[in-house]
Amino acid sequence: MAQTRTAIRYAKAVLDLAKDQNSAAVVHADMKSIANAVEASTDLKDMLLSAVIPTATKKSALLAVFTGLDKLSINLIDTLISNKRIAILGTVAQVYTELYNEGEGKQVATVTTAVSLTEELQAKVLAKVKELTGKEAEILNVIDEAILGGFILRVGDMQYDASIANKLNKLKREFTLN
């Protein structure tokens, strides 16, 4: 919990600086790529959390992985390293992205499907999310073959489960109760 609060403070500070320097969108792109990479790579997570790897090595590795970062993004990495908080880089990037999207009136709609969404279905989901919430949204498609078919739509704290696995579980409960 303390790491989350710390990450929020860093993310807010970077967002404020980025807004002052009119580079919030550029830093958002950096933070989005950092958050996605840290989330997807266990090696990157392990490297950030490692107490054995020197901070200079961590910095050079991060700058090699994330080429073309904005000056503010590099300054964030430097600040996290000097304050011995580099382990929370992924969380800071994720929180920055959430704060930026919130400020822009955007949100992330997570759609879990058994197979990847087509462009046409993505457009339909985006239209439905805008109709339901009144806000623009980005689609994050999560593939989970365990749902068998259909989809699970999650926007903020709202969830709509239209998966076949959920329907089968409901039928199973009905048969076991009778």
Strand partners, 136: 106
Per-residue confidence (pLDDT) for residue 2, from 0 to 100: 57
pLDDT tens per residue across span 53-107? 998 899 999 999 998 899 999 999 999 999 999 999 999 998 998 889 888 877 8
Q: Does the model's pTM come out above 0.75?
A: no
pLDDT band (50, 70, 90) for residue 3 = low
Say whether pLDDT at 129 is over 80. yes
| Residue indicated by tokens 């950092």 | 34
**Highest-confidence range of 49-58, 102-111, 165-174, by mean pLDDT?**
49-58
Residue pair 154/113 in contact by the 8 Å Cβ criterion: no
DSSP-derived pairing of the beta strands 106-113 and 136-143: parallel
Task: Identify which of 94, 137, 52, 36 has the alpha carbon closest to the alpha carbon of residue 44.
Answer: 36
Q: Is residue 67 classed exposed, middle or buried when 0-12, 13-18 and 19+ CB atoms within 10 A define those classes?
A: exposed
Percent of the chain predicted with pLDDT > 90: 38
- Three-state SS at 34: helix
Residue pair 76/7 in contact by the 8 Å Cβ criterion: no
**All structural domains of the chain:** 2-102 (1.10.520.20), 105-177 (no CATH)
Alpha helices in the chain (DSSP H): 2-20, 24-40, 42-49, 55-65, 71-82, 89-104, 119-133, 164-177
Which residue did the predictor score with more confidence, 132 or 53?
Answer: 53
pLDDT tens per residue across span 22-37? 999 999 999 999 988 8
Task: Identify which of 157, 151, 168, 58 has the alpha carbon closest to the alpha carbon of residue 113.
Answer: 151
Say whether pLDDT at 169 is over 80. yes
Q: Which two tokens stand for residue 32?
A: 């989005």
